[in-house]
Amino acid sequence: TITRIHAREILDSRGNPTIETEVTVETETTGKKSTARAAAPSGASTGEFEAIELRDGGERYGGNGVQQAVENVNTRIAKALIGRNVLRQENLDALMLELDGTENKGSLGANAILSVSLACAKAAAKALQMPLYRYVGGVNAVTIPVPMMNILNGGAHSDNNLDVQEFMILPIGADSITEGIRWCAEVYHHLKKLLKNRGLSVAVGDEGGFAPNIANEEEAIQLIMEAITKAGYSCGRGKQFMISLDAAASEWKGNAPGEYYLPKSGKRYTTDELIVHWEKMIRRFPIYSIEDPLDEEDWDGWKRLTEKVGDKVILVGDDLFVTNPVRLNKGISMGCGNAILIKPNQIGTLSETMEAIRMAKEHGYETIMSHRSGETEDTTIADLSVGLGSDLIKTGAPCRGERTAKYNRLIRIEES
């Protein structure tokens, strides 16, 4: 039984406030109390169709305060959930949705709702003396995802001149995540040396990847491939490493639908030109996946791109699907993409996150558990990635505590 719910305002990795909630449950038979907490992360390149993150506005914290969201948890949500059975996650989530009453969770705030939803699951697991991944995944929680490490940052996550937001490495040939994490960290350090030798900046972006000013996307990939080789690994299809990109092309909106403007390079493309560009990139480099290669509203472009290259590359919908079963369903019926990025805070409850994953799996879409560019030390997504059987997890570079916290949690889960 839930006996206490308490939220507070804390800081995220960008120094902005975010909400964390503590849930206490009491086991009736023993009188034992268990408390767990969860925090909401926050994006920078947020999709237009994400659930609403409630921010206070005004002067405090430059308008980013979350006191209203905190208040909503401590009053309205606490009143509705205290006394309820914490093991009935779907019921708890449904109660919050009903209380919110809006389509986009703008009344209570998706940040408020998510922190409660996740803290309830964690408190339930704790009461049952189980790790979270076992609680959400049961006997099926037996695989560890492949990490996708974002070691070079561009787009909205850095001030450099690259329009593609993320350049990631995947240690697909590693036998375990512990091994894969080591490989990635070694490549990361070789990349740092390469950048230093060329007199380029080794300061890092929001997700811990380097953010140097380099000529273009092609040169970024070449540098990464060189770092992989220098670290003693092979790169290519069927080799030890592959490369993934997150274009975050919803940030490339032009003047009209079907037009793209890349804000840093100043390049312009039509949907068809961008499709040709991606076809070339896929031919030229060992690319495992491209996330948001096209805009969140360019459903027809997504369909055409998937028809053309969907058998060669994984096309990941992040802003396109926003972890929303309704949008994913539309994409599945149209044939848009073949993978979905899973960000629990895009949709706001654990139950809806699980529904999106269930739907994706049923239709053969790969699932990628994901952090946000604004994170906390909370490691819930590491457990969810194992518990919900994600194929991959992206949680930044092997650098910055809020990123390594998740990788380190996966090392511990693997050992257990």
Closer Cβ to Zn ion, 67 or 367, answer by number? 367
* Cα distance between residue 315 and residue 186, in whole Å: 27
Two structure tokens written together for 99: 């209380």
Rounded to 10 degrees, the C-alpha dihedral 316/319/346/208 comes to 70
Of 55, 264, 372, 406, which one interacts with ligand PGA (CB under 6 A)? 372
> CA of 135: how far to CAs of 169, 210, 276, 384, in Å?
30, 36, 45, 10
Least CB distance from residue 47 to ligand PGA, whole Å?
A: 7
Q: Which of 50, 53, 207, 217 is catalytic?
A: 207
Q: Which amino acid is at 14?
A: R
Active site residue 307: no
Give me the 247-266 binding string for ligand PGA, x by CB under 6 A, dash otherwise.
Answer: -x------------------
Identify any residues that bridge with 269 across adjacent strands, giving them in sequence order: 260
**Binders of ligand PGA: how many residues, by CB under 6 A?**
11
DSSP structure class, residue 54: P
Of 274-313, binders to Zn ion (CB under 5 A) are 291
Closer Cβ to Zn ion, 47 or 137, answer by number? 47
Closer Cβ to ligand PGA, 14 or 84, answer by number? 14
**Binders of Zn ion: how many residues, by CB under 5 A?**
3
Of 140-169, binders to ligand PGA (CB under 6 A) are 165
- At residue 49, φ and ψ (nearest 5 deg) are -105, 15
* Cα distance between residue 285 and residue 306, in whole Å: 18
DSSP structure class, residue 30: T
Closer Cβ to ligand PGA, 73 or 316, answer by number? 316
* Cα distance between residue 306 and residue 290, in whole Å: 11
Query: With CB cut-offs between 5 and 8 Å by kind, which of Zn ion, ligand PGA, none does residue 44 bind?
Result: ligand PGA
> In this structure, are residues 341 and 291 in contact, taking their beta carbons and an 8 Å threshold?
yes
Active site residue 343: yes
Using alpha carbons, select from 22, 6, 50 the residue that is nearest to residue 345: 50
Two structure tokens written together for 154: 């561009």
Q: Which of 105, 122, 343, 406 is catalytic?
A: 343
Closer Cβ to ligand PGA, 100 or 318, answer by number? 318
Give me the 19-58 binding string for ligand PGA, x by CB under 6 A, dash otherwise.
Answer: ------------------------xxxx------------
Which residues here bind Zn ion, judged by CB under 5 A? 246, 291, 318
Q: Which residues are catalytic?
A: 207, 343
Which residues here bind ligand PGA, judged by CB under 6 A? 43-46, 165, 246, 248, 318, 370, 372-373
